[in-house]
Amino acid sequence: GAVVSQHPSWVICKSGTSVKIECRSLDFQATTMFWYRQFPKQSLMLMATSNEGSKATYEQGVEKDKFLINHASLTLSTLTVTSAHPEDSSFYICSASNGDTSSYEQYFGPGTRLTVT
């Protein structure tokens, strides 16, 4: 089956620094990638949708200048949390849509746990 990887799987950073999280589709081309955020004991909430080569579309309430998303290729999307603060500590999960098939396919990465101290 299709595989989506995320790197790193966990990261601890100091308040005020920036952190980059990578999401890769390993064996398929992802025309669309999604970034979700999950706070402890809560559900997944979509942050933004990115299509290869175009600007990401952010959900209402998500600061685009703080959460920079780049989808430079069909297999890679990155999320950069700029000037991270403790309230940004969360579990970030990406998903990728398989553009090669006609049926519905969207695959989730294993997630990245971010802790800002």
Q: Name the one residue in this structure whose structure tokens are 């402890």.
A: 40
Q: Give the largest CA-CA distance in the chain.
A: 44
Report the residue number, 40 or 86, with the smaller CB distance to other proteins.
Answer: 40
For other proteins, the binding residue among 46, 62, 68, 76 (CB under 8 A) is 46
Alpha-carbon distance 12 to 32, whole Å? 28
Q: Which is nearer to other proteins, 15 or 98 (CB)?
A: 98
Q: Establish if 29 lies at the interface with other proteins (CB under 8 A).
A: no
Q: Which of 61, 65, 86, 104 binds other proteins (CB under 8 A)?
A: 104
- Give the DSSP H or E segment for 51: strand 44-51
| Using rule CB under 8 A, residue 70 touches other proteins | no
Q: Which of 25, 75, 90, 97 binds other proteins (CB under 8 A)?
A: 97
Is 52 a binder of other proteins (CB under 8 A)? no
Map residue 81 onto helix, strand or coil: strand
Three-state secondary structure call for residue 88: helix
If one asks whether residue 90 binds other proteins (CB under 8 A), the answer comes out as no
Before 86, cis peptide (omega within 30)?
A: no
Reading the block at residue 73, the tokens are 């290729």
**Residues making contact with other proteins (CB under 8 A):** 31-32, 34, 38, 41-46, 49, 91, 93, 95, 97-98, 104-106, 108, 110-111, 113
